[in-house]
Amino acid sequence: MDATYQEIAEALATYFDGFYEGDVDKLKRIFHPSAHLFSATDGPLQDDAMEVVYERVGGRANPADTGQQRLDRILSIDKSGAESALAKVQIAIGPKLFTDYLNLLKIDGRWQIISKIYTYVLLAEAQAAAAE
């Protein structure tokens, strides 16, 4: 495996751990302070700055504490040059299975998420469809 892919995969492990554990400090290591999260799954465009995301994560029961099974996985990593990449990942939080498109840049020697677009389906529906 290319060393760059390994670096990105290691950075994404911090992303997965941060959401699973509800650890805002870990999330702050992977997200650039200027990052935003975007979604239109529930209708109009939702645009959340990181402080809003950190408040939400810090204020909810996290999957680790509730004993939720980890379903996070890297679906693809597409890199363009030595400093930019797009990762497609899945992660389960509560009743939802999220598919995230993470735009990453290597800034100051480390990979950081500069923007995230996400959608989700209900986890029960995704598991039922996979069983068919």
Residue 110 has pLDDT above 60, yes or no: yes
Q: At residue 103, does pLDDT exceed 90? A: yes
Per-residue pLDDT, averaged over 12-17, amounts to: 98
Which domains can be identified in the chain, with CATH numbers?
A: 3-131 (3.10.450.50)
Residue 4 has pLDDT above 80, yes or no: yes
Q: Is the pLDDT of residue 71 over 70?
A: yes
Taking the C-alpha atoms of residue 97 and residue 57, their distance in angstroms, rounded to an integer, is: 16
CB contact at 8 A, 31 and 19: no
| Separation CA 109–CA 129 (nearest Å) | 41
pLDDT category of residue 67 using cuts at 50, 70 and 90: very high
pLDDT tier, 15 (very low <50, low <70, confident <90, very high otherwise): very high
Distance CA 79, CA 1 (A): 13
Mean pLDDT of the chain: 94
Q: Which amino acid is at 94?
A: G
In the prediction, which pLDDT does 1 show? 54
Calpha distance 29→33 (Å, rounded): 9
Q: How confident is the model at residue 39 (pLDDT cuts 50, 70, 90)?
A: very high
Q: What are the Cα distances from residue 47, in Å, to 79, 109, 118?
A: 25, 27, 11
8: closest CA among 71, 72, 84? 84
Q: What is the pLDDT of residues 73-84, one digit of tens each?
A: 999 999 988 899
